[in-house]
Amino acid sequence: MAAPAESPSRLAIVIPLKAFAAAKDRLSSALSPTQRAALATRLATRVLTIARTIEGADIIVASDDDEVLAWSNTFGAIGVRQSRPGLNGAVSDARDEARRRECDHVLITHGDLVDPTSLVELCATLDRTVVTLVSDRHLDGTNVLALPTSIDFDTHYGKGSFRAHLDEATRRGIAAHVVEDARLALDVDEPADLDLLTES
């Protein structure tokens, strides 16, 4: 008797987003509030546009802002109104939604990547049994984090999150795979990062 076929693996792409009007405070010395909101919208649009090309993936946007959630719906994303505070709270709420949708893996990516095109290849080659990380170019932040929905894993977004996520994987006894990707390592946080936009 033939063994039953395994259910196909299902991926959720999680993108936590602040209200665009409140985003990019650290750029206030270089950009006006209107310019910062426009930049945040532009970068998030790039990420959502790439994410929606990844076949079979559920796209989940978590935010505490109704306008952002309505905007994300125009890309076919599933909007999750976050109930827990901060970036880690938004990610936790989105991971809960992924589990409800019976996704077995989540890929969490920031909405301010300069060039998110490598997400397509990364999703196609993910090892679904480990935690996968892509750092920022300073080896400080975590620009992409992918992990099975079945595991207990606390996220530690904020300063030093890349090392904190590696330590979390070690603490949980879960293998971690670091992907070095020059494009996914680029994000916009500080005024000096604005030069990256002219190079992309």
Residues with Cβ within 8 Å of 64's Cβ and at least 6 positions away in sequence, in order, are 18, 19, 81, 82, 90
In terms of C-beta density within 10 A (0-12 exposed, 13-18 middle, 19 or more buried), how is residue 134 classed? buried
Sorted by where each starts, the structural domains of the chain and their CATH numbers stand as: 11-194 (3.90.550.10)
CB 40 within 8 A of CB 71: no
Q: What is the pLDDT of residues 59-70, one digit of tens each?
A: 999 999 999 999
Closest CA to 146 of 43, 57, 52: 57
38-47 burial, b at 16+ Cβ within 10 Å, e below that, comes to ebbbebbebb
Looking up tokens 């790439």, which residue turns up?
A: 50
Give me 185's structure tokens. 């390592």
Which pTM was predicted? 0.91
What digits encode the pLDDT tens for the residues 75-106? 999 999 999 999 999 999 999 999 999 999 99
pLDDT at 28: 79
142-148 and 105-109: which strand pairing?
A: antiparallel
* 121-125: average pLDDT: 94
Per-chain mean pLDDT for the chain: 91
Note whether 157 and 88 are within 8 A (CB). Answer: yes
**38-47, 54-63, 185-194, range with the lowest pLDDT:** 185-194
* pLDDT for res 3: 41
